[in-house]
């Protein structure tokens, strides 16, 4: 709706994982480097985690757009499946026939395919997104797929992508062997306050008009506060801000506009209330006791991961705010230091000026004293000449 008003070629804050809009923060750049290294070095297992909406899928799609030679990829995005369904999706994405085949046949077909690809010099890669939905039993079966190997190398490289609770699930004792096979391990952090500003500028530029709107420093602080540095939430807020600016026919984004958008969206409750919180609320409303409805082991792991994620977010926000405060103090100290230096320079200049004037006065005084001395000497000479001279001196009457 607002594309033509702001002269955009495409929507700058769409929620689709479009690699064209990829902004490489410090954390994203590090993760992309690790993933690229893992693929090129044919590392066995690679683990990528990040908060919901942190850009994991966008990063993977950007990675796959790179021109890797002899790479064959199977991408799995639906992970709420059984063991047999997971195998069928993997084989189908590799281009194998799966209709009417049982689990044993699927494994045999996959093994034959991997050996064939190895003989051709190709590198098969399995990418499992939303891997936090896999049960420990399914993750163990995924590990078993990595046992398909030739005499000198693994036949299949596996990249696990998921939310932070995936790390909690991998920490259970029965997945010890899987943990030990993870060679590359990276986690996407939320954007800090400075990175959010660069992120917004980047998306506006890619959309076709970098100067479409202006965010005041206070409005950027508000976006950081409400989004907590999560790219998807930044997109949601900024998309509604552009719509609001379009309705008001303005290009200036203010704090008041952001607060209005946050209120309309019921942002905190809608985007930050976890599924566990909702479940607890339902339990309270139905007056069910905790002892009657104990959380399962898997749900408990999700709860702990949610608590850990919130603690990390709080710590990250505090660190970013401290950095902002420290930067302000450093700027004020630099300004004070510059002012002191300027005053010292002026004082030095005045001191030199006074020294110069004093020297001139001293020279003038010495010159006058010399003239007075000469005049006195002249008068004395005349007096002596008058007393001892050969001819009398005629004095006026």
Do residues 148 and 97 make contact, with C-beta atoms less than 8 angstroms apart?
no
Q: Domain of 30: which CATH number? A: 3.40.50.300
Residue 100 belongs to a domain: yes
Q: What is the pLDDT of residues 195-214, one digit of tens each?
A: 999 999 999 999 999 999 99
Taking the C-alpha atoms of residue 91 and residue 396, their distance in angstroms, rounded to an integer, is 141
Confidence of residue 363 (pLDDT cuts 50, 70, 90): confident
Residue 150 burial by CB count (10 A; 0-12/13-18/19+): exposed, middle or buried?
Answer: exposed
The verdict on 174 and 290 lying in the same domain is: no
Residue ranges of E strands in 216-313: 252-253
The verdict on 173 and 291 lying in the same domain is: no
Average model confidence (pLDDT) for the chain? Answer: 82
- Beta pairing class for 45-50 and 157-162: parallel
Taking the C-alpha atoms of residue 326 and residue 319, their distance in angstroms, rounded to an integer, is 10
Taking the C-alpha atoms of residue 71 and residue 122, their distance in angstroms, rounded to an integer, is 6
Taking the C-alpha atoms of residue 34 and residue 46, their distance in angstroms, rounded to an integer, is 9
The verdict on 31 and 167 lying in the same domain is: yes
Q: SS3 of 140, please? A: helix
Choose the final residue of a domain: 325, 342, 359. 342
pLDDT the model gives residue 53: 92
The average pLDDT across 38-64 equals 90
Of 99-113, 208-222, 294-308, minimum mean pLDDT range: 294-308
C-alpha distances (whole Å) from 297 to each of 138, 165, 272 are 15, 13, 23
Please give the residue that has the higher pLDDT: either 140 or 360: 140
pLDDT the model gives residue 377: 65
Q: What is the pLDDT of residues 286-324, one digit of tens each?
A: 433 433 443 455 456 555 655 666 676 666 666 666 666
The average pLDDT across 111-135 equals 92
Structural domain count, the chain: 2
The verdict on 67 and 177 lying in the same domain is: yes
The verdict on 32 and 140 lying in the same domain is: yes
Choose the final residue of a domain: 188, 219, 252. 188
Nearest to 229 by CA among 52, 59, 57: 52
Residue 113 belongs to a domain: yes
Helix-helix angle 83-93:136-145, to 10 degrees: 40
The DSSP-derived string for 50-80 is E-TTSSHHHHHHHHHTS--TTEEEEEE---S
Element (H, E) at 331: helix 297-388
Residue 75 belongs to a domain: yes
Do residues 276 and 303 make contact, with C-beta atoms less than 8 angstroms apart?
yes
Residue 315 belongs to a domain: yes
The average pLDDT across 250-276 equals 80
Of 3-17, 99-113, 250-264, 287-301, minimum mean pLDDT range: 287-301
Confidence of residue 356 (pLDDT cuts 50, 70, 90): confident
Residue 130 belongs to a domain: yes
Percent of the chain with pLDDT over 70: 77
Of 237-241, 312-316, 351-355, minimum mean pLDDT range: 312-316
Element (H, E) at 185: strand 182-188
Residue 361 burial by CB count (10 A; 0-12/13-18/19+): exposed, middle or buried?
Answer: exposed
The average pLDDT across 48-77 equals 90
> What does pTM read for this prediction?
0.67
Residue 133 belongs to a domain: yes
The verdict on 41 and 167 lying in the same domain is: yes
Q: How far from chain centre, in Å, is Cα 223?
A: 14
Residues 6+ apart with CB under 8 A from 54: 188, 189, 190, 230, 231, 232
Do residues 158 and 76 make contact, with C-beta atoms less than 8 angstroms apart?
no
Residues 6+ apart with CB under 8 A from 69: none
Q: Give the N- to C-terminal CA distance of the chain in Å, as an integer.
A: 119
Taking the C-alpha atoms of residue 28 and residue 22, their distance in angstroms, rounded to an integer, is 9
The verdict on 184 and 277 lying in the same domain is: no
Choose the final residue of a domain: 188, 222, 257. 188
Residue 198 belongs to a domain: no
**pLDDT at position 66 over 90:** no
Q: State which of 264-268, 374-378, 380-384 shows the largest mean pLDDT.
A: 264-268
Residue 199 belongs to a domain: no
SS3 sequence of 9-60: CCCCCCCCCCHHHCCCCHHHHHHHHHHHHHHHCCCCEEEEEECCCCCHHHHH
The residue segments making up the domain with residue 100 are 26-188
pLDDT the model gives residue 44: 80
pLDDT the model gives residue 373: 66
Taking the C-alpha atoms of residue 176 and residue 140, their distance in angstroms, rounded to an integer, is 10
């Amino acid at each position: 709706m607002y594309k033509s008003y702001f002269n955009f070629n495409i929507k700058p804050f769409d929620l689709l994982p479009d690699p064209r809009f990829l902004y490489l923060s410090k954390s994203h750049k590090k993760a992309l480097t690790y993933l690229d290294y893992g693929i090129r070095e044919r590392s066995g297992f690679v683990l990528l985690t990040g908060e919901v909406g942190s850009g994991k899928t966008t990063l993977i799609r950007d990675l796959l757009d790179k021109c890797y030679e002899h790479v064959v990829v199977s991408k799995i995005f639906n992970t709420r499946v059984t063991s047999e369904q997971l195998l069928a999706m993997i084989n189908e994405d590799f281009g194998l026939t799966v209709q009417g085949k049982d689990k044993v046949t699927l494994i045999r077909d996959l093994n034959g395919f991997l050996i064939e690809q190895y003989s051709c010099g190709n590198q098969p890669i399995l990418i499992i997104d939303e891997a936090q939905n896999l049960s420990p039993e399914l993750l163990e079966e995924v590990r078993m797929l990595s046992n398909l190997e030739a005499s000198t190398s693994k036949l299949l490289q596996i990249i696990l992508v998921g939310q932070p609770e995936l790390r909690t699930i991998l920490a259970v004792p029965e997945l010890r062997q899987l943990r030990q096979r993870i060679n590359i391990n990276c986690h996407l952090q939320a954007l800090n306050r400075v990175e959010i500003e660069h992120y917004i500028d980047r998306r506006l530029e890619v959309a076709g008009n970098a100067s479409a709107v202006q965010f005041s420093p206070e409005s950027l602080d508000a976006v950081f506060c409400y989004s907590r540095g999560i790219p998807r939430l930044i997109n949601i807020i900024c998309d509604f801000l552009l719509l609001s600016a379009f309705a008001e026919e303005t290009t200036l984004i203010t704090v008041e506009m952001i607060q209005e958008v946050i209120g309309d969206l019921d942002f905190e409750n809608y985007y930050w209330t976890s599924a566990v919180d909702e479940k607890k609320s339902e339990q309270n409303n139905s007056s069910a006791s905790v002892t009657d409805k104990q959380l399962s082991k898997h749900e408990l792991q999700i709860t702990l991961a949610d608590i850990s994620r919130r603690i990390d977010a709080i710590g990250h926000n505090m660190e970013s705010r401290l950095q902002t405060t420290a930067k302000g103090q450093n700027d004020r100290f630099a300004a004070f230091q510059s002012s002191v230096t300027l005053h010292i320079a002026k004082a030095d200049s005045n001191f030199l000026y006074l020294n110069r004037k004093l020297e001139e006065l001293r020279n003038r005084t010495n010159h006058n004293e010399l003239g007075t001395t000469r005049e006195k000497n002249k008068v004395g000479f005349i007096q002596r000449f008058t007393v001892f001279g050969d001819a009398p001196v005629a004095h006026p009457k």
